[in-house]
Amino acid sequence: MKKNLLFLSLIFSVFAFGQSEKSKTMGFYISPNVQIGYNLGNSIKDNQNKDSPYYQQNVAPYLPNDFTYGIGVVGGYHLLPFFAFGTGIRYNFIDSNQHLLNWVIQPKFLLGKDDWKGTIELEYGKQFNHSNVNNTKHYGLKIGYQDSFSKRLNNEFGFFIYSQNYQYSNAVFVGVSLGVTIFSKKNYTVYGKD
């Protein structure tokens, strides 16, 4: 059994990490990122009455913060030269009592043929932790670019907009995202040509 496992891992490493011609896809990837966003949903914040029974019961969330901060990691596979699909987790701090941990699904579209590529990412997230709000969802769009940094590393920058859906209200955030992508196929970038 150990010999079979060793043989399979060697075969996988040869196919995943040993390429001789330029690859059109990244292969497997992992992409950590950080983000900061501004709350456009000030109407929620300004129109809520803290003394209302809905606020007291945490039915409609009161959003005192103008900004949200987040960190996440997505892993996936670059299926076609223009399309990759990943999933992962994202943590967002929205308020002192709203620490949201979301499971996310993220299809990514890549535009361009060189090492500099435009990206369009769609994102769906579902909260899986417990906070003063529960069962929230978010839908997002990020437009940006990725640039080659080394043999197996791209850096990424983008602008995002996403809607955080609460049970009886919504908040909309816009902001910037910075990240890197570490991938398996070394010949995806110009740095991979030995």
Domain boundaries in the chain?
2-192
Each residue's pLDDT tens digit, 78-99: 999 999 999 999 999 887 778 8
Each residue's pLDDT tens digit, 26-72: 899 999 999 999 988 654 444 455 555 444 444 445 565 678 899 99
The CATH code for residues 2-192 is 2.40.160.20
Q: What is the mean pLDDT of the chain?
A: 80
- Going by C-alpha positions, the residue among 69, 133, 138, 76 that lies closest to residue 103 is 138
The string over 175-188, giving b where at least 16 C-beta atoms fall within 10 Å of a residue's C-beta and e elsewhere, is: bebebebbbbbbbb
- Which residues are bridge partners to 158 per DSSP? 144, 177
* Whether this model's pTM surpasses 0.85: no
In angstroms, the Cα distances linking 50 to 46, 58, 130 are 10, 10, 22
Distance separating alpha carbons of residues 75 and 106, to the nearest angstrom: 9
Phi-psi region of 135 (alpha: psi -120 to 50; beta: other; left: phi over 0): left
